Each structure stands twice: as C-alpha cells, then as structure tokens.
Chain A
C-alpha cells in the first residue's frame, strides 16, 4: 500500500470516528430538569402604584329582559386589583341584586334579580362596588357607578 493511500485511509478513518463520536454524543445527551417553569408568555406584573389603586370597570347603560329574574351581565373584578369586591344594583335606592366576595380575575355573567322588572327605562340606577382587603378584610374605598337601565 502506498503512502498516499495510507494517508487517505487514515483521514477517512478519523472522519468516520469523529462522525460516530458526534452522533453518539448528541443521541445520548442526558435530559435534566430545568430550573424555572414552563414559559407561557409574559405575565402581568403588578406595580406598587397599581396595588394602591382599585380599577373599576364602568358603564352607563344596562339592558335587562322584562318579566324575568335571570339576566345576562358582564360584571367583573379586574385581575390587576388586589381586593375582593361586593357588588350591588340599586334601583330607586332599593337593592334588586347583590353579590359578595368577587376575587380579582372573577366575575358574573348571569344573575338573578330579587324581583322581575316591568318594561321601561329606569334612570339613575346605581352599581355599587365595595372593596375589601384580601388579608385583613378591612373595607377600602369604593365606587357608585350611575347608569340607565333599559328593560325590554
């Protein structure tokens, strides 16, 4: 065997050895548990400024169905809040519905009124939001949202 053939064979053997080594190395990479958690996109980071405030979703009109106690609504406690909410609807200073302890990120899609309502427009109704600290349950500042109720 000539010297040049020996060199070619040697280089080929070296390349094959390197390829096999690389393949073995990648196929046998040990799996290890990662620190952290599975990434599901950016989270909302609540700043101190936001913690010091309560965000109130407001509206100026509601639509109810006449003659029925069950009504569809979109009442919720925004998830950037850090308080429980008690919600009440008053009509002419008479409570027609209320719910307590709505945590941040929770809400109400369906409610049952104390009494069914007749058709008409009820002006200056009040959606009363009372807020409570989630640890001490101390009452915080609240809001009264004035709205017009259309019952059809």
Chain B
C-alpha cells in the first residue's frame, strides 16, 4: 500500500469514528403528536305517546358535545297537510290530521319543524314543550281510538 492509500484509509477511519462518536453523543429526537377525539354523545327524551290536546315535553340530557355544536330536534314526518295522519284503530279508512304547536302557539310545518336547539352542558337537562291538536277530520269520522306516530329528527351540527 502506498503512502497515498494509507493516508486515505486513515482519514476515512477517523471520519467514521468521529461521525459515530457524534451520533452517540447527540441521539436524534423525533417528535410525535398524540391526539385523541372524544366523539359527541347525548341523550334525547321523546314522548313515547302524545295525547292530542295535552302538552308533552322533549328534552336533552347528558349532553357532551364539542363547543360550538348544537343539538337540533325536528318534527320529521309532517307530510300530511303539514301534520301527521291518525288512523282509526277500528276503521283504517277513517283518518284525521293532527298538527303540532310550540309553547307560543305557533304551528309547526314541514319547512318550520325545529322543535328545539340544545347546547346544554353536561349534568343539565333542557326541555321544551309541544302540543298536538286535531286540525281537520271528516264529517263521517268514526268513533274510537286513532293512532299515528311522530318521528323526531335529531342532528348535532
């Protein structure tokens, strides 16, 4: 091995040693961000049945939603003359229309169906009152019980 080769090998070895020493003294640090998202959750109480002519309440509780979000409850199926259709238990051909009103007496319609907006804090309960009234019935309406169901649309946005 000539002198040039010896010098080159010695320089390379020294550089490798120096580099290794440098890494050992200053370990590389890699940052990693830890994130977690707790999904929004809440409970809505809806009336299981609604007695026409009586008030009933819709409420929200255990609301755990992100700041700025709102839970909205709407009447979802006001498709029958802006109300819902009740049908006679005894005679399915006999029907009537029931409309819903807020506490101020304003009628809900298919386009104005927002019952309430809740931004309640946890461990609090907020409620709102609605009322159902018969809107129209045939002159030939038969006596007996009438039934129908309301579907509440619930959205958090």
Please list the residues of chain A having a beta carbon within 8 angstroms of any beta carbon in chain B: 51-61, 78, 82-83, 131, 138-146
Rounded to whole angstroms, the CA-CA distance of A57 and B156 in the bound complex is 13
Rounded to whole angstroms, the CA-CA distance of A62 and B45 in the bound complex is 21
Q: CB distance B39 to A59 under 8 Å?
A: yes
A-B contact pairs, 9 of them (CB 8 A): A53-B48, A53-B57, A53-B59, A58-B41, A60-B39, A60-B156, A61-B39, A61-B40, A146-B153
B40, B47, B76, B152 — which one has the most chain A CB atoms within 10 A of its CB? Answer: B152
Interface contacts beyond A59-B40, A141-B46, A144-B152: sample of 8 additional A-B pairs, CB < 8 Å, sorted by A = A53-B48, A58-B42, A59-B39, A61-B40, A139-B149, A140-B149, A141-B49, A146-B153
Contacts of B42-67 to chain A: CB distance below 8 A: 42-50, 56-57, 59, 65
Whole-angstrom distance between the Cβ of A74 and the nearest chain B Cβ: 9
Q: CB distance B157 to A60 under 8 Å?
A: yes
Chain B residues, CB < 8 A from A145:
154-155
Chain A residues, CB < 8 A from B42:
58
Given the known A-B contacts A59-B39, A61-B39, are A53 and B45 also in contact in the complex, defined by CB atoms under 8 Å?
yes
Chain B 11-24 against A: per-residue CB contact (8 Å), 1 yes, 0 no? 00000000000000
Whole-angstrom distance between the Cβ of B29 and the nearest chain A Cβ: 29
Chain B residues, CB < 8 A from A138:
147
Q: CB distance B46 to A53 under 8 Å?
A: yes
Whole-angstrom distance between the Cβ of A85 and the nearest chain B Cβ: 11
Whole-angstrom distance between the Cβ of B101 and the nearest chain A Cβ: 17
Chain B residues, CB < 8 A from A131:
48
Q: CB distance B47 to A52 under 8 Å?
A: yes
Rounded to whole angstroms, the CA-CA distance of A146 and B50 in the bound complex is 23
Which secondary structure characterizes the binding site on chain B? strand
Rounded to whole angstroms, the CA-CA distance of A126 and B44 in the bound complex is 15
- Say which residue of A51, A58, A82, A142 sits within 8 Å of B151 (CB atoms): A142
Chain A residues, CB < 8 A from B71:
58
- Say which residue of B40, B48, B155 sits within 8 Å of A83 (CB atoms): B48
Q: CB distance B39 to A53 under 8 Å?
A: no
- Say which residue of B41, B56, B149, B151 sits within 8 Å of A59 (CB atoms): B41
Q: CB distance A141 to B47 under 8 Å?
A: yes
Chain A residues, CB < 8 A from B134:
none
Closest to A78 in B: B43
